[in-house]
Structure 1
Amino acid sequence: MDIIQHSIAVGKYLVSPLIRHQDDGNYAASVSIRSGHGSGMHDRVMRFTPRFASHAAAVGYAIDQGLGWVRERAPRNAPLALPCAG
């Protein structure tokens, strides 16, 4: 699985693609959207149906879907998405 390397911080959210290599050679994509800290932390995970021929395509799809979810909920003046060091 690939988690930390591609995480993106957007306001109070941390968007992390979760990619799994499948037995058929394709890649499955999920995304974790985390908010809060400590005991108040909430983590939403979405799994997607499409399969991808490359790891990069799966990462791109997961990030796009996660950022879309965040943009629907974030205030208009939220900071731009920034990659997290990992």
Structure 2
Amino acid sequence: MRFVQDIPHPQFRIGLYAWNGKYIVKIEAGPYEQTYKISEMDISDPESVPTMLDAPFLTKVAQRFQQMDSDWQETGERNDVF
């Protein structure tokens, strides 16, 4: 996997990578990660990827991270791990 660029954001660590004919957007928050794969055929320029990461999209990403954390906490409690 080839690193293309970091995409600055105050809340998340966002990286853009290229691998196997796809651009991969990795968004990290704490111990959690969301990954989005985009075919290189669908986007002519990797510089257009950051424009896709608009406020409505990142709001949903934040909500998904909250849900991931809730799910993780619940399974830990349910299985007496936490």
Corresponding letter in the other structure for 2:9 = V
Q: Tell me which stretches of 4 or more aligned residues in structure 1 moved more than 4 Å.
A: none
Between the two structures, name the one with larger relative contact order (CA 8 Å, sep ≥ 6): 1
> Does structure 2 conserve the Cα–Cα contact (< 8 Å) formed by 1:13 and 1:34?
yes
- Which whole-Å CA distance do the structure 1 matches of 2:48 and 2:26 have between them? 13
Map 1:39-58 to 2 at 5 A: 41-49=31-39, 51=41, 57=45
CA-based RMSD: 2.8
Task: Name the structure where helix makes up a greater proportion of residues.
Answer: 2
Map 1:67-78 to 2 at 5 A: 67-68=53-54, 71-72=55-56, 73=59
Task: Name the structure where strand makes up a greater proportion of residues.
Answer: 1
Q: Which has the larger radius of gyration?
A: 2
Structure 1: stretches of 5+ with no match in the other structure: 75-86
Map 1:12-27 to 2 at 5 A: 12-20=11-19, 22=20, 27=21
Percent same amino acid at aligned positions? Answer: 12
Structure 2: stretches of 5+ with no match in the other structure: 61-82
- TM-score, with normalisation over the residues of structure 2? 0.51
1:60 aligns with 2:59: no
Residue-pair matches, total:
58
> Does structure 2 conserve the Cα–Cα contact (< 8 Å) formed by 1:34 and 1:44?
yes
Q: Deviations over 1:51-82 (max 9, x none)?
A: 1686xx1x2233333x22xx2219xxxxxxxx
